[in-house]
Structure formats: structure tokens, C-alpha cells
Amino acid sequence: MAADFRVERDSMGELQVPASALWGAQTQRAVNNFPISGLRMPPAFIRALALIKWAAARTNKGLGLLPEGIAAAIESAALKIANGMHEDQFPIDVFQTGSGTSSNMNANEVIARLATETLGGPVHPNDHVNMSQSSNDSIPSAIHVAAAVELKSKLLPALEHLIATIDTKARDGISNDRGIGCEELLTVHVRQIRWIVRIAF
């Protein structure tokens, strides 16, 4: 049974973490202490948070705060997560403490472990991955980034598809039971949707 776990240590002491997990002590404490809903953070949020970690590593390297090798390893690990890899390594419940610290540390720990494997030397979740950041800025920023990416990749294409479908129906010249030309109705709807898309995006 012990082989299924490894011991992780942090400022609060030791605890067991599943041997195959990429996360560390702080993530495991959150899993143990807040098993509330069984709902995990959305993948779009996790990918956005990884993008922020990637950008922070590049910026800290550019400022001379982060050694180039460590920064490169963090960037590589963060991009893997941003591209949808390792989603099973983010077990934090959506109902969690405070400002999202558990999710922030989950990302820091997973990225640090991946980066350590790539670099062949230690990459610290706080000192390196979380450098110049706080949950108070990383989490709200990740929410905004996730919303922007989802709007561009999902909502806007869906609206364009809707417009194209309504255009097709309008050209078909179908009429409704009240005698009002469906073409006129659908044309108005298309104009409204296009107006909304232009204003909102």
C-alpha cells in the first residue's frame, strides 16, 4: 500500500500524495480538506492559468529574475498544460478556499514537477513558477483569459454558424402560419445577431 504513495513535505509538515500524481503537498491538503462537490475547475480555466504561468516565466527571464534554463523548463511545462495535457492532475474542487490559492498552487506544483523532469534539476513551485505572482492576481486574470479564449474559439464560431444557418433558411423563402414572410423575419434576426457580434467583439 505504501508503494502507492510518496511523502511530500511543506511548511506544515508531511503528508502522503499518490505516487503517480504530479501535484505536491499543498494540492493534496486542499483535496483532503475540501472534498465538497466533486466538481473540478473547468479545463478552460486550467489552460488559461497555465498560459499565465508561461507568460510570467518569460517575463521574469527577460527581467533577469529567473535563470534561462529554469524559465525554459517552466515555459515548456506550462504550454503542455495550456494545450490540454495533464488535465487529470488538477483535482481541486471548485468550492475552495479564499482567492483560489489551492488552484494556483496546484498549477505551480504540477508545472514545477514537469519542469524539474525536463531540466534534470529542482524547479520550485513558489520561488520559480509563482515568481512575482499572487493568487489575488493570477486567478482573476485566468478567469478573464479563459473567457476571452472561449469566446473566440467557441462562441464566435457558433454565432457565425447560426448566422449562416439563418441566412440559408431566409433564402429558402419559408413562410410561417401567420402569413408573415419567414425571409423577412430571419433577415431581421441575422442583422440583429451581426450587430451584437460587432458591438460585443
Which tens digits make up the pLDDT trace of 33-75?
Answer: 999 999 999 999 999 999 999 999 999 999 999 999 999 999 9
- Three cell numbers written together for 6: 510518496
| Residue whose entry in the numeric block shows the C-alpha cell 534539476 | 121
Instruction: Report the helix count and the strand count for the chain, using DSSP H and E.
Output: 7, 2
Looking at residue 48, what is its pLDDT?
98
Decide: 24 and 113 in contact? Cβ < 8 Å.
yes
CA 2, chain centre distance (Å): 32
Domain ranges of the chain: 2-133, 154-200
Instruction: Classify 8 as helix, strand or coil.
Output: strand
**In terms of Cα–Cα distance, which of 85, 93, 75, 98 is closest to 47?**
85
Looking at residue 191, what is its pLDDT?
66
Does 184 have pLDDT greater than 70?
A: no
Percent of the chain's residues with pLDDT above 90 = 72
Which tens digits make up the pLDDT trace of 169-183?
Answer: 666 655 444 555 555
Looking at residue 81, what is its pLDDT?
98
CA distances from residue 58 to 45, 54, 131, 146 in whole angstroms, order as listed: 20, 6, 11, 20
Residue 65 DSSP one-character state: S
Superfamily of domain 2-133: Fumarase/aspartase (N-terminal domain) (1.10.275.10)
Does 83 have pLDDT greater than 80?
A: yes
Pairwise CA distance, residues 60 & 57, whole Å: 5
Which tens digits make up the pLDDT trace of 95-140?
Answer: 998 889 999 999 999 999 999 999 999 999 999 999 999 999 999 9
Looking at residue 98, what is its pLDDT?
80
pLDDT band at 185 (very low <50, low <70, confident <90, very high): low
Pairwise CA distance, residues 68 & 40, whole Å: 33
Pairwise CA distance, residues 173 & 22, whole Å: 58
